[in-house]
Amino acid sequence: MRTGATAAFLNTATTSPAIALATLELQRAQRLDPAAAGLRLVPFSLGVIVGATLAGRALRRLPGGVVIALGLSCIGAGDGFLAALHHAPVSTGVAVAGTGIGLSSVAATGLGTSVEARMQAAAGTINTAAQLGTALGVVGVLLVVAMAAGSGLPLQGPRLGWAVAASLALAGAALTATRNRVLRA
């Protein structure tokens, strides 16, 4: 249950701030109206559908922890893509991150609720972890972005936030992979 809850937290802690920053970037910097900005974020949801579908297939062949690590790696890649390229095509980055959360969330729920006797408590724990991930991820990343404003760091604004989210996702992927003995010494 612990791995599932941790993954649920990391899934939303690394995608929710990325989507919030993408919304701000599209509306403020690229001066899109809310409807146009929203349309550019639809690939995130489509990516979630693709990732969830792939997760079902992947879980038949791979342990849940491996699928979680793959999903978090995709989230990190999507967030990193947004951070790396100035005025990156936001739709591409959010689609990759969406695919990652689809992969990871299905595996996290399956792994976290695998013990029949504690299934309801586990489902509640995983749901709570996901909600906390959203709240704390958005607050934490936006706080870093605000505190770094005008500091002279090479990354500022949304790009810094996406880099922080990508780093967290990739660190979570590495820890999950290591914990699940995906990586061999």
Record the pTM.
0.92
Residue 171 lies in a domain: yes
Per the structure, how many domains does the chain have? 1
What's the pLDDT at 116? Answer: 66
Distances (CA, A) of 72 to 29, 33, 117: 28, 31, 28
Over its C-alpha atoms, the chain yields an Rg (Å, rounded) of 16
Average pLDDT over residues 97-123: 84
Strand, helix or coil for residue 28 = helix
Average pLDDT over residues 133-147: 96
How high does pLDDT run on average in the chain?
Answer: 91
Q: Is the pLDDT of residue 6 over 70?
A: yes
Residue 156 lies in a domain: yes
Joined together, the tokens standing for residue 25 give: 């970037």
Residue 185 lies in a domain: no
How far is it, in rounded angstroms, from Cα 108 to Cα 114?
Answer: 10
How far is it, in rounded angstroms, from Cα 74 to Cα 54?
Answer: 13
What's the pLDDT at 115? Answer: 63
Chain segment 39-95, per-residue pLDDT in tens: 999 999 999 999 999 999 999 999 999 999 999 999 999 999 999 987 768 999 999
Of 57-61, 108-112, 132-136, 155-159, the range with the lowest mean pLDDT is 108-112
How far is it, in rounded angstroms, from Cα 67 to Cα 105?
Answer: 9
- The domain containing residue 22 runs over which residues? 2-179
What's the pLDDT at 2? Answer: 80
CATH number at residue 91: 1.20.1250.20
Residue 157 lies in a domain: yes
How far is it, in rounded angstroms, from Cα 30 to Cα 18?
Answer: 16
Residue 184 lies in a domain: no
Does residue 50 or residue 115 have the better pLDDT?
A: 50
What's the pLDDT at 117? Answer: 59
What's the pLDDT at 111? Answer: 80
Residue 135 lies in a domain: yes
